[in-house]
Structure 1
Amino acid sequence: MARIRLSEILVGAFMALGFVALFFLAMRVSNLSTATTGEGYTLKAHFDNIGSLRVRAPVSMAGVRLGRVEAIEFDQATYQAVVTLRIAERYDQIPSDTFANIFTAGLLGEQYIGLDPGGSPDMLTDGDRIEFTQSALVLEQMIGQFLLSKAEDGGE
């Protein structure tokens, strides 16, 4: 009887560890475990179309993550999306003429913001705006443009 009870306890402990591991895996995949702590500085960028960019999406330069998207809002005066980026404090040497692009990780992966540094001697500081941006490429628009160009060419 004691042997059966011990095996039930071990199975229960194993199941509990499995659920804990599954929880941490879900947190890691959803990027909730790496939420920003409010440290660093913020930059703003205006885009005509952000596609499916989400809050907590990575912000990277040369493949290195510098920060995350902190907020996404809509500017009713310019009809543009205003994206607030939280950049880690240690990356404080970003030129003021840096270019911000919205890229997709893989063919159908999540979107992120890629920064291409400029050559200005002036650096971006807390609250500055990134002036040069490139909106997300929307797959439906690209297909529509392709089909329209094929129709104009006579379908060849």
Structure 2
Amino acid sequence: MAKRTTEIVVGLFILAGGAALLFLALQVSGLTFKPAGDTYKVYAYFNDAGGLAPRGRVSMAGVTVGRIRDVSLDQETFQAKVVIDIEARVDSIPADSSAIIRTSGLLGEQYIDISPGADMESLSDGDTFYETQSALNLERMISNFASGQAAD
């Protein structure tokens, strides 16, 4: 009888550990079981999207205000077209704001940081960011420095 109780306790412990690992994996990957809520869509065009990926973070003043929906190549301008879902509660982003690709930490994930402008009008569904700043490409900078193109 005691052996059976021990086996049940160990089984429950293993199930709890598996559930904890699943929870941590979902938190790290950005996936969630809760619905996304109301959002509106805006666009940003970058010369170099770097390592941006769908479900990536979009923040403003360090606070997450949205997620990246899609990253694709615009066939007309040959720039990276990024579709961003902004939470509906954040409805007063100035229309002349900038979208900047940043990296969290030295080798961390890349995300979009919104730098607010001063325009009285706000971004709405379907608008495009006024100004963007592409990802910092470390390999390209080192290559340019090594080949002597950094001074140009």
TM-score w.r.t. length of structure 1: 0.91
Residues 144 and 150 in structure 2, CA contact (< 8 A), matched pair in contact too: no
2-structure distance, mates of 1:93, 1:123? 5
Residues 57 and 111 in structure 2, CA contact (< 8 A), matched pair in contact too: yes
What is residue 92 of structure 1 aligned with on the other side? 91
What is residue 74 of structure 2 aligned with on the other side? 75
Residues 97 and 118 in structure 1, CA contact (< 8 A), matched pair in contact too: yes
Query: Does the C-alpha gap of structure 1 residues 122 and 68 become closer, same or farther in structure 2, counting only changes over 3 Å?
Result: same
What is residue 55 of structure 1 aligned with on the other side? 54
- Paired AA for residue 109 in structure 2: E
2-structure distance, mates of 1:116, 1:147? 32
Cα deviations by residue, 1:57-79 (Å, 9 ceiling, x for unpaired): 11111111111101112111110
Structure 2 gap segments, 5+ residues each: none
What is residue 42 of structure 2 aligned with on the other side? 43
Between Structure 1 and Structure 2, whose CA radius of gyration is higher? 1
Q: State, as a whole percentage, how many aligned pairs show the same letter.
A: 46
TM-score w.r.t. length of structure 2: 0.93
2-structure distance, mates of 1:11, 1:38? 39
**Does the residue aligned with 2:148 lie in a helix, a strand or coil?**
helix
The Cα shift of 1:150 comes to 8.5
Residues 35 and 56 in structure 1, CA contact (< 8 A), matched pair in contact too: no
* Deviating more after overlay: 35-44 vs 80-89: 35-44
Query: Does the C-alpha gap of structure 1 residues 64 and 34 become closer, same or farther in structure 2, counting only changes over 3 Å?
Result: farther
Give the total of aligned pairs: 151
2-structure distance, mates of 1:150, 1:77? 29
- Paired AA for residue 124 in structure 1: L
Q: CA RMSD in A?
A: 1.8
- Paired AA for residue 93 in structure 1: S
